[in-house]
Structure 1
Amino acid sequence: MSVLELKGITKRFGKFTAVDDVSFEIREGEVFGFIGPNGAGKSTTIRAIIGAISPTSGEVRIHGKPVAAQPDYRKHIAYVPGDVQLWPNLTGGEVIRFFMKLSGNDDTEKMDAMIREFRLDPKKKCKTYSKGNRQKVALISAFLSEADLLIFDEPTTGLDPLMERTFHHHVLAAKFEGKSILLSSHILSEVEKLADRMAIIREGRIIETGRFSELKHITRVHYRVRTPDDLSEVGRMEGVHEFRQEDGEAEFMVDADKVKEVLAVLKHFELDNIETLPPKLEDIFMRYYDAGSGAS
């Protein structure tokens, strides 16, 4: 079942097109990654979803119905931006309890547990908080909400690695509860760990959508080879990148569509060991943003 569906969302600011014909859907109980560099159109798309801006054209649907026909559709959404601003004279705990009351959640035991996990001092006023602590207040509030669609826009900005892991844990817990998560980020490894499917946005347009396994056709395979032979011939082959060899070990990347040709050449060498490393999301991403890739 589709929880969120975008149909041809376009947003223009004067002559500038920030988002161009963006379409995708997020299903129930799914983590959907939305990746691209800063300025690619991620935040503009999200602002159209939450109603902060009106799209120039296209339609946003929640649970199969246009949001225009659902005046209260925002009750389904909890949104955390990359730079959270809070009421300066309220404490973090007061802000969290306020949002819990709005969503109808009175589970203070769960609230206390989450505050401990995120290592937040809830008695301090928000004006004293660092960026990371403001982020924690918003994340805790979102995870405690009754919303069935959680939208995170660069959510781990300002968090240390330990808190990032805590965030990842609660994303997966929310997914287990049947909630849907839109995770917008330029941190590719974060999306790779959490997302069931993803969309790559470039200059306001979606250029690929699918599961990571379905995107391998645009990636490269990383090889590590132990051999006494000189593999420079392999390094000169079409589709081979970042070749280097020293002390009897060679490493290189191979375009997915050139793997068969490279392996056919490798079998003529004396190989002590060959290791294939799984393709990374970074490889997919860089293929599209490499100026020489020809992607559009």
Structure 2
Amino acid sequence: MIEIQHIYKSFGKLQVLKGVNVRMEPGKIYAFLGPNGSGKTTLIKSILGLVNLDAGEILINGQNIKHNWQYKNGIGYMPQIARFPENLNMMELIRMLKDIRKMPSCEEQYIRYFELENFQNKALKNLSGGTRQKVNAILTFMFNPDILIFDEPSAGLDPVSHIKLKDLILQEKEKGKTILLTTHMLSEVEELADEVIYLLDGKIYFQGTVSELLYSQDELRLERAIAKITQKKTAKERIKV
């Protein structure tokens, strides 16, 4: 359970989050959408403990995450771009993380799942972007976290690996995990998301199902509904000017 309570965050004079309130329950996939600069990345980084809030609270399973780094052990995070120590190979990286986390892990099943057996001892710097992203996926799942956060997870993946990742995400949902997803692939949102959280100018403009979002904009396709919201924002800005 993730509860975000009236959070604010500014960078200098730029106010990025403006009183965001949202509650995310186990067993659901939440897709974060919004134009560039809407606050999606800052909100995700706040949950990960990478941003210090100006005001408000984030609770995970009822516990405030502030000054409580242990909660991070229950989160798996798959960023858009896989950045690893270039001098290590995949198994050395996995062993290093196991030494740091000191938690039970199940990396072997994910190595087989993504068919990376032949890449275990190859230097990470020599792997393709798609293969590095599959390594990224292994690190995300291997400690069996209760919360999974994906930031454009399909970036660089081939179609087969993309399908495998989506199937795995749905399997984790069925286990009762809380799953957060940011993506520009609206077909991914339609296929995976139980709820859409649409951010606009640092506030939550909409939260609900894809069907409810379509209904709210009187559209049949998600991409047209999103475009209509963006056009409304642009029109308001022109009026202010």
TM range (shorter): 0.7 to 0.9
Find the partner of 2:73 among 58, 72, 75: 75
Q: Which amino acid aligns with 1:132?
A: G
CA apart distance, 1:183 = 0.4
What is the match of residue 83 of structure 2?
Answer: 85
C-alpha distance in structure 2 between counterparts of 1:108 and 1:45, whole Å: 29
Find the partner of 1:281 among 199, 202, 222: 222
Indicate conservation of the 8 Å contact 1:35/1:188, yes or no: no
What is the match of residue 192 of structure 1?
Answer: 190
The answer to whether the aligner puts 1:107 opposite 2:136 as a matched pair is no
C-alpha distance in structure 2 between counterparts of 1:18 and 1:293, whole Å: 18
C-alpha distance in structure 2 between counterparts of 1:29 and 1:214, whole Å: 19
Equivalent residues in 2 for 1:90-239, closer than 5 Å? 90-100=88-98, 102=101, 104-107=103-106, 109-116=108-115, 121-221=119-219
Are the structure 2 counterparts of residues 183 and 215 from structure 1 closer, same or farther at C-alpha, using a change threshold of 3 Å? same
Consecutive unaligned residues of structure 1, counting only runs of 5 or more, are 222-278
CA shift digits 1:258-295 (9 cap, x unpaired): xxxxxxxxxxxxxxxxxxxxx22212211101157857
* Shift >3 Å, 4+ stretches: 96-101, 106-109, 291-296
* Alignment RMSD: 2.3
Name the SS of the counterpart of 1:124 in structure 2: coil
What is the match of residue 52 of structure 1?
Answer: 50
C-alpha distance in structure 2 between counterparts of 1:165 and 1:177, whole Å: 19
What is the match of residue 38 of structure 1?
Answer: 36
Indicate conservation of the 8 Å contact 1:114/1:140, yes or no: no
**TM-score computed with the length of structure 2 as normaliser:** 0.88
Find the partner of 1:4 among 2, 5, 11: 2
Name the SS of the counterpart of 1:171 in structure 2: helix
CA apart distance, 1:143 = 1.6
Name the SS of the counterpart of 2:119 in structure 1: coil
C-alpha distance in structure 2 between counterparts of 1:134 and 1:198, whole Å: 28
C-alpha distance in structure 1 between counterparts of 2:217 and 2:111, whole Å: 44
Indicate conservation of the 8 Å contact 1:32/1:182, yes or no: yes
C-alpha distance in structure 1 between counterparts of 2:16 and 2:196, whole Å: 20
Larger radius of gyration: 1
C-alpha distance in structure 1 between counterparts of 2:96 and 2:229, whole Å: 43
C-alpha distance in structure 1 between counterparts of 2:44 and 2:114, whole Å: 27
Write 1 or 2 for the structure with the bigger share of strand.
1
Indicate conservation of the 8 Å contact 2:106/2:143, yes or no: no
C-alpha distance in structure 2 between counterparts of 1:120 and 1:285, whole Å: 42
| Percent of aligned pairs sharing the same letter | 33
CA apart distance, 1:16 = 0.5
Indicate conservation of the 8 Å contact 1:201/1:207, yes or no: yes
C-alpha distance in structure 2 between counterparts of 1:287 and 1:5, whole Å: 29
C-alpha distance in structure 2 between counterparts of 1:119 and 1:43, whole Å: 33
What is the match of residue 235 of structure 1?
Answer: none
Name the SS of the counterpart of 1:290 in structure 2: helix
**TM-score computed with the length of structure 1 as normaliser:** 0.73
Indicate conservation of the 8 Å contact 2:105/2:142, yes or no: no
CA apart distance, 1:106 = 4.1
CA shift digits 1:9-56 (9 cap, x unpaired): 211011001222222121111111111233322111111111111011
Are the structure 2 counterparts of residues 54 and 293 from structure 1 closer, same or farther at C-alpha, using a change threshold of 3 Å? closer
Indicate conservation of the 8 Å contact 2:154/2:162, yes or no: yes
CA apart distance, 1:6 = 0.9
CA shift digits 1:179-198 (9 cap, x unpaired): 11100122222111101111
Equivalent residues in 2 for 1:246-265, closer than 5 Å? none
CA shift digits 1:214-273 (9 cap, x unpaired): 22332344xxxxxxxxxxxxxxxxxxxxxxxxxxxxxxxxxxxxxxxxxxxxxxxxxxxx
